[in-house]
Structure 1
Amino acid sequence: MAREPQRDRDEAESPDTHHTPRDIRDRIALRVVKTMRVFADAFFAERYGHRAVVLETVAAVPGMVGGLLRHLKAVRHIRDDQGWIRDLLDEAENERMHLMTFIHVAQPTWGERLLIMVAQAVFYNVFFFTYLFAPRIAHRIVGYLEEEAVVSYTEYLDEIDAGMQENVPAPRIAIDYWGLPEEARLREVVIRVRADEAHHRDTNHGFANRIMEGSDP
């Protein structure tokens, strides 16, 4: 199913917004993400398509985990979730569509597919318990992960514009999902994906702020 028109959200979202850590928990979240970035840079270098596949595999986890735990909490306490569950599940679905798109672009090897399975297994369990016991840190980690995703996709876009990455035709799944024109290329896909990541960044930092302020459901 195609998404609603994004109304040029790719231009409206600020691609370089950074949340300044407010306290030790925010700094811990930022340090965790920066450490993950070091390993990603070392492993993938400038293979941005392959980096995107692994990145989106991990990125599809938090929304589903958060949505599940928020759902159980809302049911357990018999109270409204104020729309958090739907936002989190929509995020998970969106990230999964990013993955399905870049699978067609990067064509990951079997070794990379094995890395995907291992990365998802480890990250799921770590994130599950983080969200269970420290949801604010969990959302902040996601916010910072999305900041790094925006940086990576901006670099990917720069490589395409410089002719260092081939601007291949957009996969059919991306054309249908984002409602892109039939002649769309990879550049348009990366712009849409970056806009999605910027939106998830702002959403998760907003959730973390609400938990910090005591205004979460």
Structure 2
Amino acid sequence: MNTFTCTHLLRPAANRTQLAHATAVARGFSRLATAGHLRPAMGLGALHTARAFSLFSRNAAADSKATPYGQQQRPTEDPPSLRQHKERLRAEQDQAQSQAEALRLGSKHHLSVDTTRSPGIEMPPELQHSNIPMPIRDDFLADRPLKTADLEHLEIYPTSHREPNDWADRIALTTVKLLRLPTDVFFRRKYVHRAVMLETVAAVPGMVGAMLRHLRSLRRLRHDGGWISHLLHEAENERMHLMTWMRVCQPSWFDRLLVILVQGFFFNAFTTLYMVSPRTAHRVVGYLEEEAVISYTSFLNEIDAGRIENVPAPEIAVQYWNLDPKTATLRDVVLAVRADEALHRDTNHHFADRLITQKEDLHETLRTADWRRAHERTPKVTADAADVFPKSAATSSDQ
């Protein structure tokens, strides 16, 4: 009999009979090992095995006396900290299982993972929302479609003009006057084509200003003060003007080439000016919008005189400015566009004034002496709209 056989025979007993038999065998091996009757090769191993199992047998016998036969010993209770830890683990496991089940069922309260979509090939779901451009004036967000009378009563002050305060303002005004001369010579009374050229230029300043102020905000690690979003909205509004006029007329190849050249020159020139003097750049835009209001006023006079046909308004204009689809005409579109240009005029003059006083945060209320000094000269406005549109005023009064 070797050591493995002894160990195999001396395994823990499952009942009292096996326990007694194992104890007798252990005692016998202990006597043989002590008397020296076992071979030297296995004597030491058998001796240790017998002694170890003898100790185990005594412990097992004590346990069997303490525990009734056929009953298991009651496990000891866990300490309170261990019980709390186990309960927390079970709660986390239950929560993870519930979330996994919700993801599998595509619950609306959790994100569903689409394993069939190929990243980088199919359109991401975030791009599938229809982003409809919004008008820049709150007047066009009415609950009902706007009619001609509503557009004519918008407070835009068509003859408003900001007098220059210093040499920088005079340079800005002179620059705009010089830019208007070739436009008058080239387009003359072609007001729709003039509008196309005007909007391709007018959509540049808002984007340039927003881009440069965005980069400055990143460099300074500071909030912009609310300018970027408005300038981007202004650029989008001017672009919607262009999209509208493209539905009214079709520019020739020469007009398109002229647009490319003028836009390229104006973009680089205005970017340089904005980097050197943002205040002068906004003043230039303010005076440019004053000229735009004058141009659209002449456009309206041509329509009222019958020299330009008052065709129905394009669908893009009806949806964008919330016009009445049954009665909207080209004249209504011109009124809406002119109202937008008047807002850009006032906004850019306001931005230039804020840069003068170094109060660029739009959320602050400016009541300082510098702010009053910048507004010493009140803009010249027309009190009565009948002075500008006698025919329109007479029509609205008759109604």
Q: TM-score normalized by structure 1?
A: 0.96
Which residue of the partner structure matches residue 224 of structure 2? Answer: 81
Rounded Cα–Cα distance in structure 1 between residues aligned with 2:229 and 2:283? 19
Rounded Cα–Cα distance in structure 2 between residues aligned with 1:109 and 1:185? 24
Which residue of the partner structure matches residue 44 of structure 1? Answer: 187
Question: Is 1:167 the counterpart of 2:310 in the alignment?
Answer: yes
Rounded Cα–Cα distance in structure 2 between residues aligned with 1:106 and 1:145? 23
Matched-pair contact (CA < 8 Å) for 1:168–1:185: yes
Rounded Cα–Cα distance in structure 2 between residues aligned with 1:132 and 1:9? 37
Amino acid at match of 1:198: A
1:169 Cα deviation after fit: 1.0
145-154 or 176-185, larger mean C-alpha shift? 176-185
Matched-pair contact (CA < 8 Å) for 1:5–1:178: no
Which residue of the partner structure matches residue 281 of structure 2? Answer: 138
Question: Is 1:122 the counterpart of 2:265 in the alignment?
Answer: yes
Q: 2:155 aligned to 8, 12, 19, which one?
A: 12
1:17-67 deviations in whole A, cap 9, x for unaligned?
100000000000000000011111001001000000000000000000000
1:105 Cα deviation after fit: 1.1
Rounded Cα–Cα distance in structure 1 between residues aligned with 2:281 and 2:244? 26
Rounded Cα–Cα distance in structure 2 between residues aligned with 1:37 and 1:188? 25
Change (3 A) 1:86 1:99: same
Amino acid at match of 1:190: V
Q: Where does the alignment leave 5 or more consecutive residues of structure 2 unmatched?
A: 1-131, 143-149, 362-399
Rounded Cα–Cα distance in structure 1 between residues aligned with 2:151 and 2:227? 21
Change (3 A) 1:5 1:190: same
1:106 Cα deviation after fit: 2.1
Matched-pair contact (CA < 8 Å) for 2:151–2:335: no
Question: Is 1:199 the counterpart of 2:343 in the alignment?
Answer: yes
Q: Percent identity?
A: 56
Rounded Cα–Cα distance in structure 2 between residues aligned with 1:115 and 1:169? 28
1:151-202 deviations in whole A, cap 9, x for unaligned?
0000000100110111111111111111111131000000000000000000
Amino acid at match of 2:257: L
Q: 1:72 aligned to 199, 210, 215, which one?
A: 215
Matched-pair contact (CA < 8 Å) for 1:5–1:179: no
Change (3 A) 1:63 1:154: same
Q: 2:290 aligned to 137, 142, 147, which one?
A: 147
Question: Is 1:22 the counterpart of 2:165 in the alignment?
Answer: yes
Amino acid at match of 2:357: E
More helix by share: 1
- Please list every run of at least 4 consecutive aligned residues from structure 1 whose deviation after the TM superposition is greater than 6 angstroms: none
1:12 Cα deviation after fit: 1.3
Residues paired across the two proteins, number: 217
Matched-pair contact (CA < 8 Å) for 2:207–2:231: yes
Q: 1:185 aligned to 329, 333, 355, which one?
A: 329
Q: Where does the alignment leave 5 or more consecutive residues of structure 1 unmatched?
A: none
Question: Is 1:91 the counterpart of 2:234 in the alignment?
Answer: yes
Matched-pair contact (CA < 8 Å) for 2:289–2:341: yes
SS at match of 1:17: coil
Rounded Cα–Cα distance in structure 2 between residues aligned with 1:135 and 1:90? 18
Question: Is 1:53 the counterpart of 2:199 in the alignment?
Answer: no
Instruction: State which structure, 1 or 2, has the greater radius of gyration over its C-alpha atoms.
Output: 2
Q: TM-score normalized by structure 2?
A: 0.53
Amino acid at match of 2:180: R
1:5 Cα deviation after fit: 4.4
Rounded Cα–Cα distance in structure 2 between residues aligned with 1:13 and 1:41? 24
RMSD of aligned residue pairs (Cα, Å) = 1.3
Matched-pair contact (CA < 8 Å) for 2:151–2:332: no
Rounded Cα–Cα distance in structure 1 between residues aligned with 2:173 and 2:356? 16
Question: Is 1:113 the counterpart of 2:260 in the alignment?
Answer: no
Rounded Cα–Cα distance in structure 1 between residues aligned with 2:260 and 2:312? 28
Rounded Cα–Cα distance in structure 2 between residues aligned with 1:9 and 1:70? 34
Question: Is 1:211 the counterpart of 2:355 in the alignment?
Answer: yes
Which has the higher relative contact order, 1 or 2, with Cα contacts under 8 A spaced 6 or more apart? 1
